[in-house]
Structure 1
Amino acid sequence: MADSRASTKTASADLRVSTSEIFLIAMLIIFSLPYLVWRLGRTEYFAPLVVVQIITGIALGPGVLGAIFPDYYKFVFNGPVIQSLSAIAQWAVMMFVWIAGIELDLRKAWEHRRESGITAGLALGVPLVFGAIAAVVLLPFPGWTGPNAKSWQFVLGIGMSCAVTALPILILFMEKLEILRQPIGQRILRYASLDDIAIWGVLALILMDWERVGKQAGFLAAFAVATVAFRWLMIRVPERDRWYAGLIWLAACGLGADWAGLHYMVGAFVAGAVMDAEWFDQQQMDWLRHNVLLVVMPVFFLSTGLRTDWQVGGAAVFLVAGVLLVASVAGKLIGLRLAGRILKWQQGEGSLMGWLLQTKALIMIIFANVLLDKKIITNETFTALLIMAVASTMLTVPVVTPKLRRMKDIVFRSR
C-alpha cells in the first residue's frame, strides 16, 4: 500500500509539471552540463566544446543516464519533449550541412586536380575498404545489421563511416592550430572538400530505392532545373536578401529529397553545394556557422545521444568501436602515405595530413543518423560508430600539435 501511495504521489507530481517546463529543464541540461565540463575540466586541448557536447549527449542517453536513473530519464526525456528536441535537431543539422555545402571550394580542387584527385581518392578509398572489411566480418552476427538493409548497403555504409572527414570540425581545428589560412590548410581543405562530395554521393546511392526510382529521378531533374533558376535569381538580389532566399531554398530541397526517399540531409547538402560562397560575406558565413554550432547544434548532439544503445552488451559495442577505430585511423594514414609517395611529398607530410583528416565527429554522426533512420544499421552499430567518431576526433589535436612544431616548413609550402 505504501509503495502504491508513493507512486501515486509521484505521478500526480509529474502531472503538475508542464511539458514546457520539462522541455526547459532538458534545455538547461543540454547547454549547462557540457559547458561546465569543458570550461572547468579545461578539455580544449584534446576535446573542444563540440566534442564534449557529443560525449555529454551520449552520457544523457538511455545507455548511461537511462540505465543509472531510469525514472529521472523517463521524466525529463519523455515523448513530447523528445519530439520537440528532435524537430529542433532536424532543422539545426540541415542548416549545418547546408553551410558545409556552401563552403565547398571546387575551383581550387580543379586547379590542382591531379594532386587533389590522388590524395582525396586515397584518403577516402583506403579507410573505406578497411571499414568495409570490418563490416563484412560483422554481417553474420545478429544485432548489427538493420532490418531494412541489404548486405551491400550495410557494408558500404560502415566503410564510408570509417572514411568520412568532418569538414566543419576540420576547419575549427585548423583555426585552433593557426594553419587554416596557411598553404597546408588550404591544401587539406581541397582534399576534404572532394571527400565531402563523395560522402553524400555514396549516401544517395545507399538510399536509392529502386521501387521509387521514378520519384527520385523526378526530384533530381526538378532540382537541376530549379538550380539554374535559383542561381540566376541569387546573383540579382541584394546580399541581405540572399540569406532568406537561401533558407527557403534549403527547406524546399530538403522537402523534395525527403519526399523522393533520398532523406532531407541529402537535400540540405545539395542545396548548399550549388551555392557559391562568394555570394556572402565570409565573416557573416563564419558568424552563421559559429552561431548554429552555439545555439542549436547542442540539441542535435543530445538527440544523437538519445539513440545510443548497448543491448547486445557494452563489451561487444566497445569491441566493434575499437575495430572500426583501427580501420579508420590505419586506413587514413596508409592512404595519405601512399599519396605522399606518389606525389613525392616530404617525409612525414602524409602522416601529418592523415591525422588532420581523422576528424569525424559531426559529419560521420550525421551520416550514421541517416543510416539509422533508414534502418540500415541498428542502435548498437550506431553507438559503436559514435564512439569511433568521437575517439578519432579527440586524437587529432594532441597528435598533430607536436608534429607541426617539428615540421614548420611544411605549413608554408604551397604545393
Structure 2
Amino acid sequence: MQRVSDSLIHTVGGILSAHGAPAPAASASYAPADFSVHFFLQLAVILLTCKVVGWFAQRFLGQPQVVGEMIAGVVLGPSLFGLLLPDVAGAVFPKETRNVLYAGAQVGVGLYMFLVGTTLRVDHIRSKVRSAASVSMAGIAAPFVVAVLLTPFLLNVPGLFAAAISRTDATLFLGACIALTAFPMLARIINERGLADTALGTLTLTAGAFDDVASWCVLALVLATFGGGPGVVVLAIGGGVAWAVAVLLLGPKLLRPLARVVERDGAMSNATLASVLALFCLSAFLMDACGIHAIFGGFVLGVAIPRGAFAEEIRRKLEPVTVVLLLPMFFAYSGLNTRLDMVGSPTLLLIALGVLAASILAKGGACYLAARLAGEDNRTALGIGALMNSRGLMELIIVNIGLQKGIIGPTLFAMLVLMAIVTTMMAGPLFELVYGRHARASGQRVCAPNSAA
C-alpha cells in the first residue's frame, strides 16, 4: 500500500509541478492557474467516484443514485481515501484549493433545488396543506422535545459541546439537527422514484422545506446568542420571509412575458436562459446573505416559474449538466469535511447509537402520526415518515457550521454525521418496503429503486 501511495503521489505531484502548481507538501501560495489545475483533477476524481459508488449502491444495496453519491463524498474524504492514502488525498484535494470546490458545490445544489421548485405542484399543496402543516409541525416539535431530554446528559460528556455553551443554546442546536430533513436529498429521491408531481411527493417536499427553514432559523438564533448578535436573527428570518413572499407573489407576473415568448417560439433562446440564470443567482445570493441558505433562494424562484413550456425548457437545458456535473461537487465537498473515526470508545459508540435511535423515533415517528391524524392512509403515512427521516448532507452542512463556530466538538460532530448517513441510507429501502412495492402492485406509477434515472 505504501508503494502504491508513493507512486501515486509522485505521479500527481509530477503532473501538477509540470503545470506550475506547488508540490503537495509545499506551503507556497497558489496562483489562479494552480487552482484551475487542481480543480479539473478533483472534478474528474469526483465524477468517476460518484459514478462507480452510485452504480454499486443501486446494484448491490438497493439505494438510489443520490445515496451512492453521498457515500462517494464520504469515501473521498478523510474517513476512507484520506485514511488509507493520506498523502495522495492531500495531493488531489489540498485544503488551499477547496474554496473553489465549495463555490461549485453551492452552484450545483442551488441549481438542483431551483429545478425541483419548477416541478412543485401548487394545486397539490393547496389540496394537502392541512397534512403538510401537520407533518411539518410534528417533524419540528418532537425532535425538540427529544433534544430537551438528551441535552442535559450530553452536556455532562466532555468534548461534545463547547465548554461555554448554555443549556438553551445546546438544546436549540441539537433540536435543529434532529428536526432537519435533507431537502436536496429528499427531492432527489422523490424525483428518482417518479413522485415529483404526485400528492405524496408534494406533501413531503413541502413539509421538508418548512422543517429545513425552521431549522436554519433556529440555527441563526443559536449563532446570535452564541456571539453573532441579534441582527443575525432579524436578517435571517425577516429577510428570508420578505424575499420569499416577494418572489412568490410578484415572480409569476414578472416572468410571464418570458414564458409567452418561449411558448410562441417553441424553444428557449440563450438570452432568455441567461436572464433566468441571473435571477437564480440573485435569489440564491439574497437568501445566502440573509443567513438561510442559497438553496432556498433557488427553490423559491423555481416555485415561481410559470408552468408549461417555459418550465419544461428550463429543465431540458439545465438538468443534465446540473445533475451529472455540478451536484456531485456538493457531495464531495461535504465528504471532505467528514470524519467517522472520532467515535472510538464503546461509551461514545453507545451514545451515538442512542442519539441515532432517538432521532429516528422523533422525526419519522412523529411525521407518521401527524400524517395519520391528518387523514392520510397508513401506507402513505409510513412512506412520508420514512422520507422525512432522511437527513443527508444538509445535516452535514449544519453540523459543519456548528463545528466551525465552536458550538460542538469533533466527537459530537462525528455522531451527528453518523446519524445523517444512517437515516439517509435507510430512507429509500424503508420507503420501498412500506409504500413503493405496494403502490406499484396497485397500479400506481412509482419507479423501482434500480429503475430510477
For Structure 1 versus Structure 2, the TM-score category normalised by the shorter chain is 0.7 to 0.9
Shift of 1:231: 4.8
More displaced 10-residue stretch of structure 1: 242-251 or 50-59: 242-251
Structure 1 distance, partners of 2:87, 2:420, is 30
Q: Which amino acid aligns with 2:160?
A: W
Q: Which amino acid aligns with 2:132?
A: S
Are 1:245 and 2:275 matched, yes or no? yes
- In 2, are the aligned partners of 1:131 and 1:324 still within 8 Å (CA)? no
Aligned to 2:156: 140
Structure 2 distance, partners of 1:40, 1:116, is 34
- In 2, are the aligned partners of 1:30 and 1:298 still within 8 Å (CA)? yes
Structure 2 distance, partners of 1:190, 1:158, is 25
Structure 1 residues 328 and 99 mapped into 2: Cα distance closer, same or farther (>3 Å)? farther
Shift of 1:295: 0.9
Shift of 1:345: 5.0
- In 2, are the aligned partners of 1:317 and 1:381 still within 8 Å (CA)? no
Q: Which amino acid aligns with 2:285?
A: L
- In 1, are the aligned partners of 2:139 and 2:211 still within 8 Å (CA)? no
Unaligned runs of 5+ in 2: 1-5, 22-33, 263-267, 445-453
Are 1:164 and 2:153 matched, yes or no? no
Are 1:82 and 2:82 matched, yes or no? no
- In 2, are the aligned partners of 1:99 and 1:272 still within 8 Å (CA)? no
Structure 2 distance, partners of 1:120, 1:222, is 21
How many residues were matched structurally? 402
Match of 1:32 among 42, 45, 48: 48
Structure 1 distance, partners of 2:69, 2:121, is 28
Structure 2 distance, partners of 1:310, 1:398, is 23
Shift of 1:401: 2.6
Structure 1 distance, partners of 2:302, 2:46, is 31
Shift of 1:321: 4.3
More displaced 10-residue stretch of structure 1: 59-68 or 280-289: 280-289
Structure 2 distance, partners of 1:313, 1:115, is 38
- In 2, are the aligned partners of 1:102 and 1:273 still within 8 Å (CA)? yes
- In 1, are the aligned partners of 2:386 and 2:431 still within 8 Å (CA)? yes
3-state SS in 2 of match to 1:207: helix
Match of 2:323 among 282, 288, 293: 293
Structure 1 residues 114 and 232 mapped into 2: Cα distance closer, same or farther (>3 Å)? closer
Match of 1:361 among 392, 395, 409: 392
Structure 2 distance, partners of 1:107, 1:170, is 20
Q: Which amino acid aligns with 2:307?
A: E
Shift of 1:217: 8.1
Paired-residue identity, %:
21
More displaced 10-residue stretch of structure 1: 141-150 or 334-343: 141-150
More displaced 10-residue stretch of structure 1: 318-327 or 210-219: 210-219
Structure 1 distance, partners of 2:367, 2:306, is 28
Structure 1 residues 406 and 255 mapped into 2: Cα distance closer, same or farther (>3 Å)? closer
Shift of 1:148: 9.3
Structure 1 distance, partners of 2:376, 2:244, is 39
Structure 1 residues 118 and 33 mapped into 2: Cα distance closer, same or farther (>3 Å)? closer
Task: Note the alpha carbon deviations across 1:270-297, whole angstroms, 9 max, x for none.
Answer: 7537624527424743773454221111
Q: Which amino acid aligns with 2:175?
A: G
Structure 1 residues 406 and 353 mapped into 2: Cα distance closer, same or farther (>3 Å)? same
Structure 1 residues 123 and 305 mapped into 2: Cα distance closer, same or farther (>3 Å)? same
Shift of 1:267: 6.0
Shift of 1:388: 1.8
Structure 1 distance, partners of 2:171, 2:403, is 14
Shift of 1:254: 3.6
3-state SS in 1 of match to 2:392: coil
Structure 2 distance, partners of 1:200, 1:218, is 12
Structure 1 residues 157 and 269 mapped into 2: Cα distance closer, same or farther (>3 Å)? farther
Structure 2 distance, partners of 1:255, 1:345, is 38
Match of 1:193 among 177, 192, 206: 206
Structure 1 residues 365 and 244 mapped into 2: Cα distance closer, same or farther (>3 Å)? farther
Shift of 1:331: 1.9
- In 2, are the aligned partners of 1:317 and 1:383 still within 8 Å (CA)? no
- In 1, are the aligned partners of 2:38 and 2:97 still within 8 Å (CA)? yes
Give the 5 Å matches for 1:51-130: 51-105=67-121, 107-130=123-146
Structure 1 residues 379 and 242 mapped into 2: Cα distance closer, same or farther (>3 Å)? farther
Aligned to 1:212: 231
Unaligned runs of 5+ in 1: 1-5
- In 2, are the aligned partners of 1:169 and 1:362 still within 8 Å (CA)? yes
Structure 1 distance, partners of 2:158, 2:176, is 21
Q: Which amino acid aligns with 1:163?
A: A
Structure 1 distance, partners of 2:286, 2:372, is 44
Aligned to 2:424: 393
TM-score normalised by structure 2 residue count: 0.72
Q: Which amino acid aligns with 1:384?
A: M
Are 1:351 and 2:385 matched, yes or no? no
Structure 1 distance, partners of 2:387, 2:166, is 33
- In 1, are the aligned partners of 2:284 and 2:295 still within 8 Å (CA)? yes
Are 1:235 and 2:256 matched, yes or no? yes
3-state SS in 1 of match to 2:126: helix
Shift of 1:375: 4.6
Match of 1:322 among 353, 356, 360: 353
Give the 5 Å matches for 1:250-269: 250-260=280-290, 262=291, 264-265=293-294, 268=297
- In 1, are the aligned partners of 2:55 and 2:68 still within 8 Å (CA)? no
Task: Note the alpha carbon deviations across 1:172-208, whole angstroms, 9 max, x for none.
Answer: 4345555555xxx413421431331232133134215
Aligned to 2:304: 275
3-state SS in 2 of match to 1:141: coil
Structure 1 residues 174 and 101 mapped into 2: Cα distance closer, same or farther (>3 Å)? closer
More displaced 10-residue stretch of structure 1: 96-105 or 49-58: 96-105
